[in-house]
Structure 1
Amino acid sequence: MSNVRVLFVCLGNICRSPMAEAVFRSKLQQAGLDGIVEVDSAGTGDWHIGHPPHEGTRKQLDLKGISYAGMKARQFIGQDNDQFDYIVCMDTKNEKDVRELIDGAVSGADKGRGAEVLTFMSLLPEKGIVDVPDPYYTGNFDYVYELVDEGCDRLLEQVRSALKGSN
Structure 2
Amino acid sequence: MLLFSVDRSPMKRISILFVCMGNICRSPLAEGIFGHLVAEAGLTGGFMIDSAGTGGWHEGEPPDRRSIATAKSHSIDISGQRARRIRPRDFRDFDLILAMDRDNLAALEKSAPHGANIHLFGDAALGTGEDITDPYYGGPDGFELVYTRLLTGCCRLLETLGVERASCSGNTSSVR
- The TM-score normalised by the length of structure 2 is 0.81
**Quick one: which of 125, 128, 131 aligns to 2:127?**
125
The 3-state SS of whatever aligns with 1:134 is coil
Aligned to 1:98: 108
8 Å Cα contact 2:63/2:79 also seen in 1? no
Cα separation, 1, equivalents of 2:24 and 2:61: 7
- 2:77 pairs with 1:67: yes
The 3-state SS of whatever aligns with 1:42 is strand
Aligned length: 150
C-alpha offsets along residues 44-97 of structure 1, whole Å, 9 cap, x if unaligned? Answer: 011000000101101111101102142100001232110000101000110110
Matched residues, percent identical? 39
8 Å Cα contact 2:99/2:120 also seen in 1? yes
- 2:155 pairs with 1:145: no
Greater RCO (Cα-Cα under 8 Å, separation 6 or more) = 1
Q: CA RMSD in A?
A: 1.4
Cα separation, 2, equivalents of 1:35 and 1:69: 22
**Quick one: which of 91, 94, 117 aligns to 1:84?**
94
C-alpha offsets along residues 127-166 of structure 1, whole Å, 9 cap, x if unaligned? Answer: xx621010002331010000011000011112227xxxxx
The 3-state SS of whatever aligns with 2:161 is helix
Unpaired runs of 5+ residues, structure 2, are 1-6, 164-176
Cα separation, 2, equivalents of 1:82 and 1:36: 18
The 3-state SS of whatever aligns with 1:138 is coil
